[in-house]
């Protein structure tokens, strides 16, 4: 049975609570759900029910298309002046022995390593340190673009921008303009965590506030540029904090239209100050993706980072609203592995990503950062591909 028929069955099912049916009807009519309905879905939405609603929206927007890109990360440092309680990545200045601080030259050497690789994006993000300032990042972006003009520079979050602009005594609008002129092309979604101060003050007290995070994205969008947004879920927040978070993003998106993708990030509890907080289950991960897809009606894409939630959960998520599983990575990021993710050396070849998507009957589409289609791998047969076959078992008489 297709998803449209499944949704119709839900709407007509007299045994379901009225609120379940009303929300399903809204989804069918492409109507926005309210804050209270979002909280209701978290409190009462069963996985199968949410899956039908989210899948309906996903397929209406993208059919079976599932996006990925070929990218690598550049992480200038894992030392940080901040002390976010959930962070497994940062080594405070006193733990400097466990940290790294790349020079400009070292970073450019990493970029040059990919000169003969068909990557389309460099994703730059790391800790916050005083020497990585406006001048440094401007010079870095300019040098990367000069070396390889077609490589898309997706870099830094409002956490870094707020810090470096404040230090340089420039406002957000002027700062983002400077970054654009230097070569910045889009912003990743990090640093959002949970916006609500009741939670943010406990887990990420000193870095930029929710309003500052949103203001920096707004300035960036005003320049005609695109960015992503994340939400760190599954720790001490309550369901209404998640909906509040999504609501703030939805409102800014109504205003600017500059966001491309919403990325729920699962809290992992290893090697950080919140290791006593249990992680949520895979079921909750899938419910969360589905509710995000239903709630964020004005976001085109919902992404699952396969490196953070595992390849198998990423496959499952494609039936719960997700249409993007991020990139090939080439083991260039430590952010997920240091937090205890299953993938300790995250890297997938294009063939592996494409096959992962095909195994669950979706279409693997390589995209660039701005979602222009580069290649549809649905019918591509890779040279060394092993065809599915039946194996004979020994017969015991
Ligand atoms: S989450 Fe980011 S800002 Fe916070 S401590 Fe870690 S690296 Fe620093």
CATH number for the domain spanning 82: value is 3.20.20.70
Q: Are 196 and 237 in contact (CB under 8 A)?
A: yes
CA of 111 from ligand 1 middle (Å) equals 23
Domain boundary among 44, 62, 80: 62
DSSP assignment, residue 271?
Answer: S
193 is in an annotated binding site: yes
Domain match, 31 and 130 both:
no
Sign of the CA dihedral 48, 286, 373, 183? positive
Q: Domain limits at 17?
A: 3-62
Domain match, 53 and 169 both:
no
Domain match, 138 and 51 both:
no
CA of 90 from ligand 1 middle (Å) equals 6
**What is the C-alpha separation between 90 and 128, in angstroms, rounded?**
9
Domain match, 179 and 297 both:
yes
CA of 78 from ligand 1 middle (Å) equals 8
Per DSSP, the three-state class of 143 is: helix
User: Could you tell me the pTM of the whole model?
Assistant: 0.93
Question: What atom in ligand 1 is closest to the CA of residue 83?
Answer: 5
Domain match, 162 and 241 both:
yes
Question: What atom in ligand 1 is closest to the CA of residue 127?
Answer: 7
270 in a structural domain: yes
Q: Are 312 and 357 in contact (CB under 8 A)?
A: no
Domain match, 58 and 70 both:
no
Domain match, 247 and 331 both:
yes
Q: Based on the structure, what is the number of domains in the chain?
A: 2
φ, ψ (nearest 5 deg) of residue 302: -120, 125
208 is in an annotated binding site: no
Question: What atom in ligand 1 is closest to the CA of residue 87?
Answer: 6
- Looking at residue 332, its pLDDT comes to 60
86 is in an annotated binding site: yes
Which DSSP helix (H) or strand (E) runs through 365? strand 363-367
CA of 232 from ligand 1 middle (Å) equals 13
Domain match, 8 and 147 both:
no
φ, ψ (nearest 5 deg) of residue 66: -130, 120
Residue 257: CB atoms within 10 Å: 12
387 in a structural domain: no
- Looking at residue 131, its pLDDT comes to 95
394 in a structural domain: no
User: What tokens were used for 240?
Assistant: 């209404």
Reference 327, options 288, 353, 351; nearest CA is 353
Domain match, 337 and 241 both:
yes
φ, ψ (nearest 5 deg) of residue 101: -135, 105
364 in a structural domain: yes
Which DSSP helix (H) or strand (E) runs through 200? helix 197-203
User: What tokens were used for 368?
Assistant: 């660039």
Q: Going by C-beta distance under 8 Å and a sequence separation of 6 or more, which residues neighbour residue 360?
A: 315, 316, 318, 319
To test the pocket of ligand 1, the residue of 127, 194, 208, 336 to mutate (highest count of ligand atoms within 8 Å of its CB) is 127
- Looking at residue 367, its pLDDT comes to 96
Domain match, 239 and 275 both:
yes
37 is in an annotated binding site: no
Domain boundary among 47, 62, 77: 62
pLDDT tens-digit profile, the chain (397 residues): 899 999 999 999 999 999 999 999 999 999 999 999 999 999 999 999 999 999 999 999 999 999 999 999 999 999 999 999 999 877 666 677 778 999 999 999 999 999 999 999 999 999 999 999 999 999 999 999 999 999 999 999 999 999 999 999 999 999 999 999 999 999 999 999 999 999 999 999 999 999 999 999 999 999 999 999 999 999 999 999 999 999 999 999 999 999 999 999 999 998 889 999 999 999 999 999 999 999 999 999 999 998 888 899 999 999 999 999 987 766 566 655 665 666 666 678 888 899 999 999 999 999 999 999 999 999 998 876 666 667 777 777 6
Q: Which residues of 82-116 are buried (b: 16+ CB within 10 A; e: fewer)?
A: bebebbbbbbeeeeeeebeebeeeebbeebeebee
Ligand 1 atom 3: residue of nearest CA: 82
**Ligand 1 site, CB within 6 A:** 80, 82-84, 87, 89-90, 127-128, 159, 207
CA of 207 from ligand 1 middle (Å) equals 8
- Looking at residue 93, its pLDDT comes to 60
Ligand 1 atom 4: residue of nearest CA: 84
CA 287 to centroid of chain Cα atoms: 16
Tens of pLDDT along 285-305? 999 999 999 999 999 999 999
Q: Are 35 and 247 in contact (CB under 8 A)?
A: yes
Reference 356, options 384, 315, 303; nearest CA is 315
């Amino acid at each position: 049975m297709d998803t449209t028929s499944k949704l119709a069955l839900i709407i007509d099912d007299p045994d379901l609570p009225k609120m379940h049916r009303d929300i399903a009807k809204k989804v069918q009519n492409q109507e926005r759900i309210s804050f209270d309905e979002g909280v209701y879905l978290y409190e009462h939405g069963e996985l199968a029910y949410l899956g039908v609603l989210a899948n309906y929206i996903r397929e209406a927007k993208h059919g079976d298309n599932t996006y990925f890109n070929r990218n690598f990360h550049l992480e200038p440092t894992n030392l940080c002046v901040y002390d976010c309680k959930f962070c497994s990545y940062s080594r405070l200045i006193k733990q400097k022995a466990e940290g790294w601080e790349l020079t400009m030259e070292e970073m450019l050497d990493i970029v040059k390593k990919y000169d003969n690789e068909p990557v389309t994006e460099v994703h730059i993000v790391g800790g916050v340190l005083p020497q990585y300032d406006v001048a440094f990042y401007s010079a870095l972006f300019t040098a990367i673009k000069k070396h390889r003009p077609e490589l898309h520079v997706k870099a830094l979050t409002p956490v870094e921008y707020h810090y470096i602009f404040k230090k340089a005594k420039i406002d957000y609008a002027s700062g983002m303009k400077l970054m654009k002129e230097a070569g910045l092309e889009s912003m990743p979604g990090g640093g959002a965590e949970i916006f609500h101060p009741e939670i943010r003050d406990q887990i990420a007290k000193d870095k930029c506030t929710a309003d500052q995070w949103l203001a920096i994205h707004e300035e960036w969008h005003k320049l005609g540029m695109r960015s992503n947004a994340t939400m760190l879920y599954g720790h001490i927040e309550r369901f209404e904090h998640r909906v509040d978070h999504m609501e703030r993003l939805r409102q800014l998106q109504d205003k600017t239209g500059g966001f491309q993708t919403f990325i729920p990030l699962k809290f992992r509890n290893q090697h950080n100050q919140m290791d006593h907080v249990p992680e949520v289950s895979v079921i909750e991960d899938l419910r969360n993706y589905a509710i995000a897809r239903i709630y964020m009606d004005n976001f085109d894409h919902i992404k699952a980072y396969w490196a953070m939630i595992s390849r198998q959960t990423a496959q499952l998520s494609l039936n719960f609203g997700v249409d993007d599983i991020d990139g090939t990575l080439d083991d260039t990021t430590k952010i997920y592995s240091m937090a205890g993710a299953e993938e300790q050396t995250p890297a997938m070849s294009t063939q592996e990503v494409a096959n992962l998507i095909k195994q669950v009957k979706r279409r693997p589409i390589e995209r660039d950062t701005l979602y222009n289609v580069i290649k549809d791998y649905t019918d591509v047969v890779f040279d060394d591909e092993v065809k599915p076959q039946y194996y004979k078992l020994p017969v015991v008489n």
